[in-house]
Amino acid sequence: MLKPLLFATGLAGVALFALGGTAQAERAVPLPVAKTDVTATGRQTAVFAGGCFWGMEAVFEHVKGVTNVTAGYAGGTRDTATYDQVSSETTKHAEAVRIVYDPAKVSYATLLRVYFSIAHDPTQLNRQGPDTGYSYRSAIFPQSAAQRGVATAYIAQLSQAHVFAKPIVTKIESGAFFPAEDYHQNFYDRNPNHPYIVTFDKPKVAAFRAGFPQLAS
């Protein structure tokens, strides 16, 4: 577990963590278009977990057709859905994002493609980059039976195509979503010089723009 330490030590203390100011290289993994998709009208919601919600939120905020992204916790109970408790790795939550989108502009399957390609690494078990623990797991929380079917089929499609060097560990889960504390919302935009954002999330957003120029807003 790393991210909680950034708050404990303060920005001056974690400056050394920023690898001498050198951002990590990121690239979007080329993935096939999903063979199935969700048919829907009106505003829809998707919930994905894949490591630190700061970077996940930042990527999906830049997707055309996405109208709102909320950082939060999924898979646990309401009474323990706080950052301090989730960071203890005892609550069964995953750091997650709730995405509100217009299906006339971007489909659920397209969001899945971004999720697997660049928003996170679906081959890392109970961790994501520098962050370790069950709360950083790769998981999809379908909001309908149709979403569950499309997500399950796409994982199978990607696994059969061997697009990743390692097996996909993403799980399909059930559970409610609870928004995180206000200071976690829009963290990328409000803290552009934070060492974690500079090192891990700015390269990810840049890679999304390069890999999906038609989707980038």
**39-75 as b/e, with b when 16 or more CB fall inside 10 Å?**
ebeeebbbbbbbbbbbbbbbbbbbbebbeebbbbbbb
Please report which confidence band the pLDDT of residue 25 belongs to, taking 50, 70 and 90 as the band edges.
low
**What pTM value is reported for the model?**
0.91
Cα 70 from Cα 2, distance rounded (Å) = 21
* Average pLDDT value for the chain: 91
16-30, 117-131, 157-171, 186-200: lowest mean pLDDT where?
16-30
Q: Is the pLDDT of residue 22 over 80?
A: no
Burial level of 120, CB count in 10 A (0-12/13-18/19+)?
A: buried
Residue 16 pLDDT: 33
Q: Catalytic residue numbers?
A: 52
Residue 1 pLDDT: 56
CA distances from 178 to 71, 142, 154 (A): 9, 15, 26
Q: Which pLDDT tens digit goes with each residue over 126-168?
A: 999 899 999 999 999 999 999 999 999 999 999 999 999 999 9
Cα of 149 vs its chain's centroid, Å: 20
16-25, 27-36, 88-97: lowest mean pLDDT where?
16-25
Average pLDDT of the segment spanning 59-81: 98
Q: Which pLDDT tens digit goes with each residue over 89-132?
A: 999 999 999 999 999 999 999 999 999 999 999 999 999 989 99
